[in-house]
Amino acid sequence: MKKIGLTLLTAFVGGALALGAYKMIENKYADNMSFEEKQKVYFTSNKSAPIVSSTGALDFTEAAAAATPAVVYIRTTYSSQTGGSGQNQLEQMFGDMFGQRMPQRGPQQASGSGVIISPDGYIVTNNHVVEKADKITVATNDHRRFEAKVIGTDPSTDLALIKISATDLPIVKLGNSDETRVGEWVLAVGNPFNLTSTVTAGIISAKGRNIGIIGSQDNEDENPFGRTRNQQGGPRLNKAIESFIQTDAAINPGNSGGALVNTKGELVGINAAIASHTGSYEGYGFAIPINLAKKVLNDIKKYGSVKRGFVGVSFTELNPEVAQQLGVSNTNGLYVNDVVPGGGAEQAGIKKGDIIDKVEGTQVYESSDLQEHVGRLQPGDKVNITVLRDGKEKNFAVTLKADATPTNRTAAVSKSAEELFNKLGASFQPLTAAEKAKFHVNSGVKVTQVRPGRVFDNFEIPVGSVITSINKQPINSVADIDKAITNLRNGNLVISGNYPDGTNFNNMFQVQ
């Protein structure tokens, strides 16, 4: 009996050790998984009855039930100096499409929606919903409230990734926007007017829409694809990537950042804008395709910013009128106005005057046909582009180039860690061993994004800088930053590190 008992005890201890080791490995592995991989693990472990497309019976109850628990309400607060998200020009053009603006004296407030995509609190929303926000409050479908911090943003696609401190949250299953079809039923789920979980239905009325709204207020932005209109000067480019899914599902103020789901309850788009003269629904809504969003969100989580490849051309969309002006016979495609010196297009052999006709064998009719495809790729990836030159097709394998990182420098508290983190206005990535050796530091995180009007921007701490300590506490991760900024003395925050050229800095500012 003693021998049997000893055997059972040994088996029990061994099993416990194995289970503990497995859990440690599982957690470490999970940190490196993409959102799509995390979701596969989640839905494998949490099996539910398959949702069958309900278009035949026009019954959307199952799809709505699958999506609504993971759609959240987002309220943002801005200081009077920042004056909201800075989208006044866009609001004048399209109405108050981006959420409820409530002008008032003192701090300004706005609102929008978001979609939980990971059980550990990652939420996708629009950049314009959280841009320049001092405080972000998230209300979940079960009426819990959290403060959120901005992990990173991508103004080029109008996407942002924020995070709340919570676990075991409901999520929306990521779908495949490439498989959506014009005429397909979809649901728009959001929180307009602070109404919990509003669902509207409609069809997809078009795909690949470029409505010229992202970045329209700033002509100085750069673009990996090129300008879509003739402009004077060199090939300065506009980074905006628009390939919207157009739907007639009712989208109203406050829907921005909400979910566009198919009849299986799968997320196929992030609601972004409405085209309206009144600021309310008039029949046209636009959503960012989820397949484009996947790349952006995974990059932000992994690198702190989006790693985007550049083709290196500026172009004009062809139509009969433009073709006549340029003296070309083709009325479809993208006319190459110029190529960026040293860019991927020039190195591959594409020339000014070529007409981009196909990308990866797919016909190109407008800029979005190229933009969305290239927007999913990384620097160093190759893309096959077919051009028309002298009436003949020529194929080129273009290696996408990375964007140049700027290196020149031209910063008693009761606020939460999330609010202070958002005030910093930056995204971070842990240093590699090689980077620590380069800067001769034992700890540090690299600045991968700096948002305008925030502390890092005001103190001219550029992308590529290294933060080694905050209030003399060594920094190696975002979690270390959270700890450091919640332990302030006299409201002072001291940030130390190195600029990209290796020069040391030591900045102190007063938290207000």
Name the active-site residue from 113, 128, 134, 314. 128
Per the annotation, the verdict on 256 as an active-site residue is yes
DSSP 3-state of 125:
strand
All residues at 6 or more sequence positions from 21 whose CB lies less than 8 Å from its CB, including other chains: none
Of 158, 248, 369, 480, the catalytic one is 158
Is the distance from CB of 162 to CB of 150 less than 8 angstroms? yes
Residue 270 tokens read as: 């992030």
Q: Could you confirm whether 113 is annotated as catalytic?
A: no
Torsion of CA 116, 163, 291, 335, to 10 degrees: 140
Cβ-proximal residues to 375 (8 Å cutoff; 6+ apart), any chain: 156, 157, 224, 241, 243, 292, 295, 296, 308
Report the candidate in 430, 422, 417, 433 with the shortest Cα–Cα distance to residue 471.
417
Q: Where are the strands (E) in 374-510, listed by range?
A: 382-389, 392-399, 401-402, 426-430, 445-450, 466-470, 473-474, 492-498, 504-510
Pick the catalytic residue from 111, 118, 156, 256: 256
- Active site annotation includes 440: no
As a whole number of angstroms, the distance between CA 347 and CA 349 comes to 5
Report how far residue 96's alpha carbon sits from residue 112's, in angstroms, rounded to the nearest whole number: 12
For residue 277, the tally of other CB atoms under 10 A from its CB is 8
Which residues form the catalytic set?
128, 158, 256
